[in-house]
Amino acid sequence: MISVTTAKEIIQTHTVPCLPVMVPLAAAAGLVLAQDVYATQDIPAFPQSSMDGYAIRYNDIQQYSSLEVAGEIPAGSVQTTTLSAGQAARIFTGAPVPPGADTVVMQEKVRLENGRIFIADNKLRTGLNVRSAGAEISKGSLALEAGSELRPAAIGFLAGIGATEVMVYPNPSIAVIVTGNELQEPGAPLAYGQVYESNSFALRAVVAQMGFAAPSLYQASDDIETLQHVLLEALSKHELVLLTGGVSVGDYDFVTRAAQHCAVETLFHRIKQRPGKPLYFGRKGTKLVFGLPGNPASVLTCFYQYVTEALSCLTKRNLLAAPKWLQLESDYQKEPGLTHFLRAWYDGNSVKPFPAQESFRMHAFARANCLVEIDEAAETVKAGSLAKTYFLTN
């Protein structure tokens, strides 16, 4: 068995980012830029009014007590109105400032009488309320650097400078393979010895929560040939394959053997942790395979701790916030040798692990907003101690 830290290092070392692709800007939200984006023109491309008011020549107010209103310039106007001495133009926010004008006086500072304006603004200065050409960004300048996450503001900014497509690290396609003869679809009657299948539901939900497309779902019976066939099919179509169940050492735990038969290189199998000790990780070329334990709490714990690590490397995204060291509300005792991940609730002051932490129990996980990591060497952790805490949303 390996440590939690070593497992994460192996994942980071052996995960290659998805090959960058060019996508329409509208489809790039949440992805990470794979190359720098430069402005292809000045934005704005012309001197632009920043408010409703009147465009004037600033020096005219030193010579004239009032100015003649020579026209009106709405936003989007393509006509050119050149101001002569003693003239002003009615102008609106976003409209081009006409040649000859250099200042916009806000309409609240103006009195209009008989086609002429009288200005009362002792704070007026040259260039006030005018956005110069290139004020947002100048042609040839770096707009966004590679590695930037395309959040809503970034998408809006790139659209505003005229970008229509960007080079990004795409999301991988994901497959989920559910194994186990004992599993029954929720809602169907349970025969003796059967349990409802829930892992695919949890995995599809967490994948969606992190902004990925719904994974393809496969089912495989506890049969080595069947599982091998299903795994090969999933690997032929997807970059990341998640199997649930069948990764322990029982007679019906076929995942590791099926992976070997499919030429998947085993990178680790079994981690010194609870829950999720029998976790499997392998690689075939650049494609990744995780064998998640079958118990529901183990599945999600391993997803948050390890699959998320791989997804972050594949997409260059930070899918979960960095852990914080927070105060435990109560004592916790365990045997040394395994790292424990505890489902817990953080109330803004301290972290409270739930009771009933067994790997088959999901009730606590359903109410948790964080996972608390207790180091493998620890035995007794006292209330008030600081514990490494992972929040389940970014």
Give the CATH number for residue 75: 2.170.190.11
With CA atoms as reference, report the closest residue to 339 among 387, 383, 307.
387
Do 158 and 211 fall within a single domain? no
**Residue 184 belongs to a domain with what CATH number?**
3.40.980.10
Residues 155 and 290 in one domain: no
pLDDT above 90: residue 246:
no
Asked if residue 158 and residue 27 are part of one domain, the reply reads yes
Contact call for residues 319 and 308 (beta carbons, < 8 A): yes
pLDDT band at 128 (very low <50, low <70, confident <90, very high): very high
Domain-ending residue, one of 315, 350, 376: 315
Say if residue 249's pLDDT is above 90: no
Considering the domain architecture, whether residues 209 and 292 belong to the same structural domain is answered as yes
Q: Which of 315, 341, 356 is the last residue of a domain?
A: 315
Q: 113 and 56: one domain?
A: yes
Does residue 268 share a domain with residue 198? Answer: yes
Same domain, 288 and 222: yes
pLDDT at residue 368 tops 60:
yes
pLDDT for res 77: 87
Contacts of 299 (CB under 8 A, 6+ apart): 199, 202, 203, 244, 292, 293
Is the model's pLDDT at 284 over the cut of 70?
yes
User: Average of pLDDT values for 103-110?
Assistant: 96
**Of 251, 284, 315, at which residue does a domain stop?**
315
Quote the tokens at residue 136.
């947002």
Tell me the one-letter amino acid at 33. Answer: L
Q: What is the pTM of this model?
A: 0.89
- Give the per-residue pLDDT at 181: 86
Residue 321 clears pLDDT 80, i.e. is over it = yes
Residues 189, 75, single domain; the answer is no
Structural domain count, the chain: 4
Alpha-carbon span 333 to 328, nearest angstrom:
12
Q: Let me know whether 164 and 193 are in one domain.
A: no
CATH number, domain containing residue 36: 3.90.105.10
Tell me the mean pLDDT in the region 353-359.
91
Q: What is the pLDDT of residue 250?
A: 64
Average pLDDT of the residues in 311-320: 95
Q: Helices 4-14 and 308-315: crossing angle, nearest 10°?
A: 30
Is residue 386 within 8 Å of 326, Cβ to Cβ? Answer: yes
Which tokens hold the place of 60?
A: 């005219």
The pLDDT value recorded for residue 251 is: 56
Say if residue 91 is in the same domain as residue 106. Answer: yes
Higher pLDDT, 254 or 207: 207
Q: What is the pLDDT of residue 2?
A: 97
Helix (H) or strand (E) holding 55: strand 53-56
Mean pLDDT score of the chain, rounded to an integer? 95
27-57 pLDDT, tens digit per residue, is 999 999 999 999 999 999 999 999 999 999 9
Which domain, by its residues, includes 382? 324-391
Rounded Cα distance between 392 and 122, Å, is: 56
Residue 363 has pLDDT above 80, yes or no: yes
Q: What CATH number has the domain bearing residue 376?
A: 2.40.340.10
Whether 358 has a pLDDT exceeding 60, the answer reads yes
Alpha-carbon distance of 240 to 286, in angstroms, equals 9
Q: Are residues 95 and 194 in the same domain?
A: no
Q: What is the per-residue pLDDT for 78?
A: 86
Residue 356 pLDDT class (50, 70, 90 cuts): confident
In the predicted structure, residue 155 carries a pLDDT above the cut 90: yes
Is the pLDDT at 186 greater than 90, yes or no? Answer: yes
In the predicted structure, residue 177 carries a pLDDT above the cut 60? yes
pLDDT at 320: 86
- Are 194 and 301 contained in the same domain? yes
